[in-house]
Amino acid sequence: MSERTDQAHDRPGVYSVPGQDYDRDTRYITTRITADGRDGYPVEPGRYRLVVARACPWANRAIIVRRLLGLEPVLSMGVCGPTHDERSWTFDLDPGGVDPVLGIPRIRDAYLARDPHYPRGITVPAVVDVPTGQVVTNDFAQITLDLETQWTAFHRPGAPDLYPEDRREEIDEVAELVYRDVNNGVYRCGFAGTQASYERAYHRLFERLDWLSDRLRGQRYLVGDTLTEADVRLFTTLARFDAVYHGHFKANRNKLSELPVLWAYARDLFQTPGFGDTIDFAHIKAHYYLVHTDLNPSGIVPAGPDLSGWWAPHHREELGGRPFGDGTPPGPVADGERVPDEHAAPRP
């Protein structure tokens, strides 16, 4: 999952404090992997492993960006199961419950290898230095930016430019609003400690969704006429909205499927290679409804919603735009990384 100590998704523990607004702890390990190795970790093919959980929206960003850029051959990926206990995410999907590359049962082990007294949240995504077994970074926002700007020597031919230099200021501005009011906004609703804090978060969330609808009414993507980092960041929250946030987090003014512009936009992205093929709805629902026992003490996982609408025509291509700019779509999902059909939205 992806954030840090109080992170409602990635970190085992208390997510809200009665009587207070939800406050996400954002003190990450900010070491960077760069082309020049300025922090001691140069970009090198095969050296690092990206550890994710498909349930987590923050980790899902890294999965999407890695796939769009074609980094699978040079940056391996370990996938944790959808649930965790108070200690950390586990590699319970792998034979013997051990990651086959890192040789550990829990991502916590890689954090403690970096710092035996690590005091903060055990989160995903995390990038691990395979030779030492130590976490390099769990700074989820910087991870995708560095994949886009520091790993360019290993991007596939035809990889899109998701963070074009001439658009970065606008991308950053939009992404910050999306993070504050939408990505984190759904958590502010779900883990609010009072009625008043919940209602503040609720109104702020839907005001931003309305703003996004207005922005996207006449343009296909959030910034410019191609896919960018901003679209990736919004998509992972929209993909989870009806399945968990609408009910589980009480973000229930409307379902995504009741917001015509955003629903069409989300379907457009979902049907674009690299986006929908990373979404595991079974993992998403299992995580939220089984781990958040304070919100769902029964542990019952809802049977719905109907997922077939994700493949309905969206007609967003009528607005123009070129998803990959001068590039091309990614190829088929790498061997061993395909979301099982029974976990995905059924095709018509």
Q: Is there a domain that residue 60 lies in?
A: yes
In whole angstroms, give the CA distance from residue 310 to residue 314. 9
Are residues 121 and 5 in contact, defined by beta-carbon separation less than 8 angstroms? yes
22, 48, 56, 288: which is the annotated catalytic residue?
56
Q: Is there a domain that residue 177 lies in?
A: no
Q: What is the CATH number of the domain that holds 335?
A: 3.40.30.10
pLDDT value of residue 19: 53
pLDDT value of residue 85: 83
What are the tens digits of pLDDT across the range 224-250? 999 999 999 999 999 999 999 999 999
Contacts of 267 (CB under 8 A, 6+ apart): 309, 310, 311, 312, 314, 316
Number of domains the chain contains: 1
Q: Is there a domain that residue 35 lies in?
A: yes
Active-site residue, 187 included: yes
Give the up-direction half-sphere exposure of residue 326: CA atoms within 13 A in the CB hemisphere: 3
Domain extent, residue 60, equals: 1-168+273-348
Q: Is there a domain that residue 30 lies in?
A: yes
15, 41, 48, 187: which is the annotated catalytic residue?
187
pTM of the model: 0.94
What are the tens digits of pLDDT across the range 147-166? 999 999 999 999 999 999 99
Q: Is there a domain that residue 22 lies in?
A: yes
Q: Is there a domain that residue 217 lies in?
A: no
pLDDT value of residue 22: 67
pLDDT value of residue 11: 44
Residue 18, pLDDT > 60, answer no
Q: Is there a domain that residue 340 lies in?
A: yes
Q: Is there a domain that residue 149 lies in?
A: yes
